[in-house]
Amino acid sequence: MRLLRVLVVLAVFSSAAFVALNVTPTGAAEYTWNTYPTNGYKIYLSPSSQGNQGCNGYVEKFGARDIGYEAAAGYGNDLVARGYFVKLGSISSSINSRMLESETWNARMHIAIHTNAGSTACNSNRVASNAGTWTIYEPSSSSNATKALAEHMRYYVAGASPGTNDIACRHNTSCTTYISEMYTDVPYVAYYEMEFHDWPTGVSFIRSATWQWRIGWAVDRWFGYPPNMY
Amino acid sequence: MSTKRTLVVTAVLGLVFGSVAAVSAQRTELASLPMAQYVGFGHNIQAENDIYMAEEEAREAIVEECMQDAGFMYWPEAGAGVINVPGNTSARGIGLAESLRDDPAPLARKDLSPTDAYVEQLAASERDVYLTALHGEDWDSVSQSPEAFSGSCKAKAFDEVTTLAQAMRPLRDVYATQVEDQVARQPGVVVATKEWSGCMSDAGYDYGQPSDMFGSLDDKAADLIAAWGSAIPSDKIDALEEIEVATIDAFESCNIGLARALFEARTELEQRFIEAYRDDLEVLRRGMWIGVKQP
C-alpha cells in the first residue's frame, strides 16, 4: 500500500503544472513593477464552516467563502495582485483542520473570515449603530492574534461596512466565545466578523464585491508593502 | 510519524522536484540572496509550494484510506483552495487604477470539491457522522479542542506526514527577528531611504518611505470606491491612473539606490544568520528537498 501511495503521488506530480500566484505587470512603456514574481508572503484565508442563516437566504459559510475569493483575486487590488500567495480553506472542514493547514503551508498570516450574529436569521432590531465589523484579539503570549493587529485590520476594512459599531474585541469575553483559531501557530493571526448577517443592509454589503480588496490593503499596510523580490 | 514514512515522502519530493528545479532556476537567477540555498524562508516560494503540494498529496491519500476503512467515501484533492492566477498580466503603474476597471461582478466560483458537494447533499445527521469521522467531534464549533480533533482521519494524516514547515519551524521566528525585522534599520538602508525621500520630494512627491507612497495610492483608490461603489466613472479612474503612473515613474527613478541598499543589507544579515545557524539550517538545504537524483 505504501509503495502504491508513492507511485500515485509521483504520477500526479509528474503531470502537475503549478501556476504561480502572482501578477507581473510588464506593459511596454509602463513600469515593470514586479522585478521578481512575488513578495514571498503566504496568506491563509480561513472561511467559516458554520451554516448560520441570515437575512434573504444568506448562509455564513458560503458568504465567508465568497469573501475569501474576492479578497484573494477579486475586484480592486487584491492580495494576489499585490504579490501574495493565497490559500483559501474548505468550508467543510473544522477549525483544527484549517489551523494545521495554515501551519503546514507555512503561512505568514492566518485570517479567519466570519460574519456576525450566529444563527439569528433576521433581527428587526439590528441597525447601523449596533452593527459593524469586528475583529478579535487574544492578549496572551501564547497567541499571535495581537490587539495591534486586530485594531489595524479593523481600521482598513470597517470603513466600508454599513454598521458603525466597529470594534476590535478581546477574545473569550462578552463579545465572543472561546475560539481555538486564535492560537494558530503562524506569525500573525487575524479574526474577522465581517458585519452582521441578520439585517438586510448587512447582507447586501457582505454580498457586494467592491470592499474585499481592503483585506489586501490592510495586509500590505501591516507588512509595509513588501517588495516582490522572489 | 515513522522514520520510514518521512523518508518515503522526502524521496518522492526529491524525484518529483528534479524536473521542477529547472523551472525554478529561471526564477532564482535574480534571487541570489544567501538564504536562497535553503527552502522554507520564501526565497524559493514556488518550489516550496510544490513541496507543500506533495505533502498534501501524501496526507490526502492517508485520509482516503482512513475514511474508506471507516466505511465512507472520500475524494482526495491536494492543493484545494490555492488560488491560481496566471502571471504576466500587463498593467500600468502598479495596476491599482486598472483593477478598478474590472467587471465588479463576483468571481466565477469554483465548484465545490467532490467531497464538499457530497457533504452538502447529506442529511444533517449523516453529515454530522461523516464530518466527525473526517474532522473529529465538534467539527463545526469554533471552540473545537485538539482532543476533539484527534482520532479523526485528518488528524491522522497531519500526524503522519512530516512537513517542510515543521523542519523550518525552529528557525522561523529567529530569522524574522534577526533578519527581516532588521533590514530597514541597517544604516545603509536608513541613509538610502532618506535619499529616496529627497529624490521623490524633488519630483513633487512628499513621502518618507515607499510604504507611505503605496499607502497614499491605496487611499485614493479607497476614496473612489467609497464615492462611487462599483460604478466609478472612467474619467475618475483615468485621473487616478495618471497620478499612479507618474508616481511610480518617479519611484522607479528614485528607487535604484534604495533597492541596492535593501539587497546589500539583506545579504549581509543573511550571511550572518547562516554563520550563526549553519548546522541548524543543514536540514533545509535546497538540494535535500529539490532536485535530488535517484540512486
For chain A, what are the domain ranges? 37-223
- Check if the interface score ipTM surpasses 0.90: no
Distance from CA of B154 to the nearest CA of A (A): 7
Looking at residue A188, its amino acid is: Y
Least Cα separation, residue A50 to chain B (angstroms): 6
Query: Can you tell me the distance from the alpha carbon of B153 to that of B156, in angstroms, rounded to the nearest whole number?
Result: 5
* Local structure of A53: helix, strand or coil: strand
| pLDDT of B272 | 98
| Contact (CB<8Å) B109/A69 | yes
Mutate one of B45, B74, B156, B225 to test the A interface: name it (highest A CB count within 10 A). B45
Longest dimension (CA), chain A: 61
At residue B52, the pLDDT reads: 87
pLDDT value at position A173? Answer: 92
Cα angle B238, B241, B246; round to 5: 130
The minimal CB distance from A6 to the residues B12, B95, B214 is found for B12
Give how far Cα A183 sits from Cα of A122, A152, A167, B20, B272, Å: 31, 19, 20, 34, 31
Hey, are the CB atoms on B142 and A181 less than 8 Å from each other?
yes
Instruction: Please give the residue that has the higher pLDDT: either B46 or A12.
Output: B46
What was the pLDDT predicted at A217?
94
Phi, psi dihedrals of residue B51, rounded to the nearest 5° = -60, -45
d(CA B55, CA A198): 40
Residue A193 sits at the chain B interface (C-beta within 8 Å) = no
A-B contacts (CB, under 8 Å): 273
Is residue A91 very low, low, confident or very high in pLDDT (cuts 50, 70, 90)?
Answer: confident
- Predicted confidence at residue A37, as pLDDT, reads 57
For cell 524562508, the residue is B41
pLDDT in tens, chain B (295 residues): 343 344 334 434 443 333 333 333 333 344 489 999 999 998 887 788 889 889 999 999 999 999 999 999 999 987 666 665 555 555 677 888 888 886 655 555 556 778 888 988 999 999 999 999 999 999 989 999 999 999 999 999 999 998 999 999 999 999 999 999 999 999 999 999 999 999 999 999 999 999 999 999 999 999 998 898 878 999 999 999 999 999 999 998 999 999 999 999 999 999 999 999 999 999 999 888 876 543 3
Of B45, B90, B107, the CB nearest to A26: B90
Mean pLDDT of A175-193: 95
How close B125 comes to chain A (CA, Å)?
A: 14
What are A33's three cell numbers? 513593477
**How far is the C-alpha of B138 from the C-alpha of B128, rounded, in Å?**
9
From the list A1, A49, A209, the residue facing B105 with the nearest CB is A209
pLDDT value of residue B16: 36
A64 contacts in B (CB within 8 Å)? none
Q: How many CB atoms lie within 10 A of CB B150?
A: 14
Q: Which pTM value belongs to this model?
A: 0.85
At residue A1 the predicted structure's pLDDT band, cuts being 50, 70 and 90, is very low
Quickly state the pLDDT bin for A175 (edges 50, 70, 90).
confident
**Does the distance separating the beta carbons of B225 and A76 come in below 8 Å?**
yes
Contacts of A95 in chain B (CB under 8 A): 141-144
- A7 HSE (CA, 13 A, CB side): 4
Cell 455564513 identifies what position?
A60
In angstroms, the Cα distances linking A174 to A77, A131, A178, B136, B196 are 35, 16, 10, 27, 48
pLDDT band at A228 (very low <50, low <70, confident <90, very high): confident
Looking at CATH, the fold of the domain delimited by A37-223 is given as Aminopeptidase (3.40.630)
Query: Mean pLDDT score of chain A, rounded to an integer?
Result: 82
| Cα–Cα distance, B116 to A4 (Å, whole number) | 26
Residue A147 phi/psi, 5° resolution? -65, -40
Q: What is the pLDDT of residue B15?
A: 34
Looking at the complex, report in whole angstroms how far the Cα of residue B271 sits from the nearest Cα belonging to chain A.
18
Decide if pLDDT at A92 tops 50. yes
Q: Shortest CB distance from B211 goes to which of A20, A105, A224?
A: A224
* Averaged pLDDT for residues A113-133: 92
